[in-house]
């Protein structure tokens, strides 16, 4: 019987996809997946350090393994992800959790197999964290878990140094993958039947700006969208300082590209944006939205917003509210500012008290949700195209998303997972749509 692996993932889509790569390495070594942590022979924690609560969560879960490891000493406990890349964190992890067998970083993920083999030979704990990013590894085949959706990295790292953000410190400088490797990967995914491809990067608009690819992001997007086949194409994350009309023109050329842009604004106040080192103004952001909607009036925008950044006044916060009202985001990820060691913002005076932060986040969430609900109501009675992702056995319904990321639920007698279906919306509940299946695209 083969040995089993279990992966625990924290954080963003980037990490979810990295876990698919970790799973790919483990599968190639002969391990099989188990959803039950007690059954596993190897457990990998793919950590995130972008905010303190993600980190605390991981600390709690790793600590809880102590008992299992005692009962089953052959169990391999592995910790990877961006927390291990954080300055001083490996030492903390080593001291707090002496039962960790292997630690590796996001910058040397491809070394996992070698590290497991080394650990199996030696009794000593194996720790290998690379400080600088090396060559992009192209040899890992991810074990994808999200059919019919697939994520494809187009670049790694970030050069932006937003003053609150730890990502550039733990994920290294920006590196872009070669266009031919990206195009080949997408061609294969489409051949395998994947129906929605999302191009991933911390700042996709600066793809190729390291001069190594011979292509800009809009040229890459054009090339990927020109691949034959029936699939949707998305990209994230765009940075407002670099998002431009060239990209929108490519969106206009290809109906495959979803007319939804994830464009994190972070704040509606120019003072805060400047202190965040975002390098755009509220006015520039709003102009970009106007430009996008001049091409596609139906275009939707999602965003990320931080409240309680050091020095944020009530007036600044209200500027964020007014921007939310002006743009009418389809949805927004809202965060309370989290102080990250080593970032510029962590040394700023005027850190905002927790009760003020909490009050602002509650008001903001309510405002954002009101727009999301208002947008849902507009769907009533309309027919939408949904890509069926899965079956919800609790609700007894199939579900999937429309072009704008809106979740729709429906009854079907046939299994339609991986198919585009037409859904007539008959009920709207908060952010979810319910409807009758009208047509299945074969
Ligand atoms: N505190 C709160 N939110 C943060 N983000 C990044 N760093 C921090 C931080 N220190 C948010 C930003 C970013 C998203 C991925 O996470 O909004 O766009
Ligand atoms: Fe962090 Fe800014 Fe880079 Fe996004 S663009 S990963 S927020 S530094």
**pLDDT tens sequence across 28-80:** 999 999 999 999 999 999 999 999 999 999 999 999 999 999 999 999 999 99
The angle subtended at Cα 47 by Cα 41 and Cα 50, nearest 5°, is 175
In the sheet that holds 32-33, the strands lie side by side as 32-33, 4-9, 42-47, 76-81, 102-104, 126-128
Q: Is 108 helix (H, G, I), strand (E, B) or coil?
A: helix
Give the SS3 label for residue 155: strand
Transcribe 341-352 into DSSP letters: TTSGGGG-S-PP
Check if 165 has its Cβ closer than 6 Å to any atom of ligand 1: yes
Q: How confident is the model at residue 100 (pLDDT cuts 50, 70, 90)?
A: very high
280-305 mean pLDDT = 98
CB of residue 161 inside a 6 A radius of ligand 2: yes
Mean of per-residue pLDDT scores for the chain: 95
Q: Is the CB of 266 under 6 A from ligand 2?
A: no
pLDDT above 90 as % of the chain: 92
User: Closest Cα partner for 425 from 376, 390, 383, 393?
Assistant: 383
Q: How far is the CA of 183 from the centre of ligand 1 (A)?
A: 30
**Span 380-399, mean pLDDT?**
96
Write out the E strands in 15-55: 32-33, 42-47
**Spatial CA neighbour of 236 closest among 249, 247, 226, 223:** 247
Query: Is 258's pLDDT higher than 90?
Result: yes
Please write the tens of the pLDDT for every residue from 401-412: 999 999 999 999
Question: Does 267 have pLDDT greater than 90?
Answer: yes
Residue 1 has pLDDT above 80, yes or no: no
Confidence of residue 188 (pLDDT cuts 50, 70, 90): very high
**Residues 197, 176: Cα–Cα separation, whole Å:** 18
| Residue 132 banded pLDDT, cuts 50, 70, 90 | confident
Which residue's CA is the nearest one to ligand 1's atom 13? 304
d(CA 378, CA 369): 15
| 207 within 8 A of 215, measured Cβ to Cβ | yes
pLDDT of residue 442: 82
Residue 158 and residue 171 in contact, taking contact as beta carbons nearer than 8 Å: yes
* CA of 304, closest atom in ligand 2: 7
Q: How far apart are the C-alpha atoms of 101 and 77, rounded to whole Å?
A: 5
Helices within 208-269 (DSSP H only)? 217-225, 245-253
Counting atoms of ligand 1 from 1, which one is nearest the CA of 345?
A: 10
Structure confidence at residue 431 (pLDDT): 86
Count of residues for the chain? 442
pLDDT at position 430, please?
84
pLDDT band for position 205 (cuts 50, 70, 90): very high
């Amino acid at each position: 019987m083969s040995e089993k692996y279990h992966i625990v993932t924290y954080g963003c889509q980037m990490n979810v996809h990295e876990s698919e790569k970790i799973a790919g390495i483990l599968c190639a070594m002969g391990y099989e997946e188990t959803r039950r942590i007690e059954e596993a022979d190897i457990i990998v924690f793919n950590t995130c350090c972008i905010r303190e609560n993600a980190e605390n969560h991981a600390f709690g879960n790793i600590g809880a393994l102590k008992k299992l490891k005692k009962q089953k000493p052959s169990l391999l406990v592995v910790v990877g992800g961006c927390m291990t890349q954080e300055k001083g964190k490996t030492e903390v992890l080593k001291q707090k959790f002496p039962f960790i067998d292997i630690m590796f970083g996001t910058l040397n993920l491809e070394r996992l197999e070698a590290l497991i083999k080394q650990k199996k030979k030696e009794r000593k704990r194996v720790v290998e964290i690379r400080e600088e990013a090396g060559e992009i590894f192209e040899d890992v085949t991810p074990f994808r878990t999200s059919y019919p959706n697939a994520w494809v990295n187009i670049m790694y790292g970030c050069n932006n140094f937003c003053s609150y953000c730890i990502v550039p410190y733990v994920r290294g400088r920006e590196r872009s993958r070669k266009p031919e490797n990206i195009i080949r990967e997408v061609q294969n995914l489409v051949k395998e039947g994947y129906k929605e491809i999302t191009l991933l990067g911390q700042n996709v608009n600066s793809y190729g700006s390291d001069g190594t690819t011979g292509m800009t992001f809009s040229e890459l997007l054009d090339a990927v969208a020109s691949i034959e086949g029936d699939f949707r194409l998305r990209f994230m994350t765009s940075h407002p300082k670099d998002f431009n009309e060239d990209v929108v023109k490519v969106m206009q050329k290809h109906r495959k590209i979803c007319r939804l842009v994830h464009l994190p604004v972070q704040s509606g106040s120019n003072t805060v944006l400047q202190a965040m080192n975002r390098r755009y103004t509220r006015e520039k952001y709003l102009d970009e939205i106007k430009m996008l909607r001049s091409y596609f009036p139906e275009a939707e925008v999602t965003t990320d917003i931080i409240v309680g950044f050091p020095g944020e006044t009530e007036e600044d916060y209200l500027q964020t509210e007014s921007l939310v009202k002006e743009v009418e985001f389809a949805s927004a990820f809202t965060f309370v500012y989290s102080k990250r060691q080593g970032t510029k913002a962590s040394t700023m005076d005027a850190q905002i008290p927790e009760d003020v932060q909490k009050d602002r986040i509650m008001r903001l969430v309510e405002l954002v949700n009101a727009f999301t609900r208002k947008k849902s109501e507009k769907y009533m009675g309309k027919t939408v195209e949904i890509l069926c992702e899965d079956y919800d056995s609790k609700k007894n319904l199939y579900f999937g998303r429309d072009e704008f990321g809106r979740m729709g639920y429906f009854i079907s007698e046939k299994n339609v997972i991986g198919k585009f279906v037409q859904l007539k919306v008959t009920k709207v509940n908060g952010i979810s749509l319910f409807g009758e299946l009208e047509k299945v695209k074969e």
